[in-house]
Amino acid sequence: MFFYCYNKAMILGIDEVGRGPWAGPLVVGAVVLGGAQIPGLTDSKKLSKKRREELDIIIRDQADGIGLGWVTAGEIDEIGLATALKLATIRAVEQIKTPYHEIVIDGTINFLENTNKARFVTTMKKADLLVPCVSAASIVAKVARDAYMSQQDLLYPGYGFGSHVGYGTAAHIKAIKLLGVTPLHRLSFAPLASYRISESLKPIKSDQPTTKSIGDAAENEAANYLGRAGHKIINRNWKTKFCEIDIVSTHNSIVYFTEVKYRREQAQGGGLAAITPAKLRQMKFAAEYYALKNKLNNTDLRLAAISMTGSPPKVENFLEIF
């Protein structure tokens, strides 16, 4: 029997896909159906691929709000699956702009605990069978993740990602033994642990300053620069085993996460040239993880970078990135 809220059902349903695969992202779906009544909604695993894709189109057309929270394999390796589930849920919920009065999460764990959404949450076993908006969330997350894994066949031929979508099937195991692992693989999972050890033995390239003293001087000057601009420094060299942030500061109720990049000479391209798309993703993850650990709810978070040159180091540019 379905769980309904009478009148207009402004319930946010949440379900995850991709908890168990050896490769690929974890995806959390979040859906507010509102007044939409869509026949055939159920747990996505009970539907054929064709039917899931048909319902996905209908859900996207009729639902009041849809969000998808993605966490990559690399992020899962860094923070662990439990924290990744929380992060993916937060990312999904942040995309919902339509109002709702209740959140139903499939399962027994409140992944929004310690956030300002926690009081709205009901956890329910088999909610993807009983609550239409949770069924819808499971469907859109499953269709999105499967489509993504099918695309990876083009980037990593020979693995069969389009068929097993990252699960540890016999064909997948055979491909790993033959071809090795890819960036999609979760090396923190026990069956792939030996590959993580071999990867860790490879030389690590670093774009950090060549001497600690110059690096310290650059960060000190960067912090002084921010202080002169009215920032209050909260943390310096904030590190966990997962990530690090050079400077965390506040200014006008905004929390800034600033990366300090030093180049001895301007001819080297300037420090901001080191903020590659990959580095930007790392910075975004570090800021989100800091906010999660420090319970920064409904806070404006900004990524920034300070480019420095010369000896002694001087600030060349301060750039708000994102």
- The residue assigned the tokens 């800021």 is 287
Q: Are residues 186 and 220 in the same domain?
A: no
**Are residue 31 and residue 144 in the same domain, yes or no?**
yes
pLDDT given at position 185: 95
74 Cα distance to chain centroid? 10
What are the pLDDT digits (tens) for 250-299? 999 999 999 998 876 554 444 455 577 778 888 888 898 899 888 888 88
Sequence-distant (≥ 6) Cβ neighbours of residue 59 within 8 angstroms = 31, 33, 36, 38, 66, 136, 139, 140
Whole-number percent of the chain with pLDDT over 90: 61
Using the 3D structure, point to which of 196, 223, 258 is the last residue of a domain. Answer: 196
Counting the structural domains of the chain, the total is: 2
Q: 97 or 196: which carries more pLDDT confidence?
A: 97
Per-residue pLDDT at 208 exceeds 60: no
- Domain of 302: which CATH number? 3.40.1350.10
166-192 pLDDT per residue, tens: 999 999 999 999 999 999 999 999 999
Is residue 2 in some structural domain? no
Q: Clarify whether residues 147 and 78 are in a common domain.
A: yes
Residue 252: which domain range?
212-320
Domain end among 196, 225, 251: 196
- Integer angstrom CA distances of residue 210 from 58, 134, 222, 223, 263: 56, 52, 18, 20, 10
pTM above 0.75, yes or no: no
Boundary residue ending a domain (196, 230, 260): 196
Rounded alpha-carbon distances, angstroms, from residue 151 to 29, 71, 154: 19, 17, 6
Q: What are 76's two structure tokens?
A: 């899962």
Residues 240 and 97 in one domain: no
The mean pLDDT of the chain is 87
Q: What CATH number is attached to the domain comprising 57? A: 3.30.420.10
Tell me: the pLDDT tens digits for 219-264? 888 988 998 899 999 998 888 877 889 999 999 999 999 999 887 6
Query: Does 202 map to a domain?
Result: no
* Residue 109 within any structural domain of the chain: yes
pLDDT at site 295: 85
* Predicted confidence (pLDDT) per residue in 17-44, tens digit: 999 999 999 999 999 999 899 999 999 9
CA distances for 16 relative to 45, 73, 115, 167, angstroms: 12, 15, 18, 15
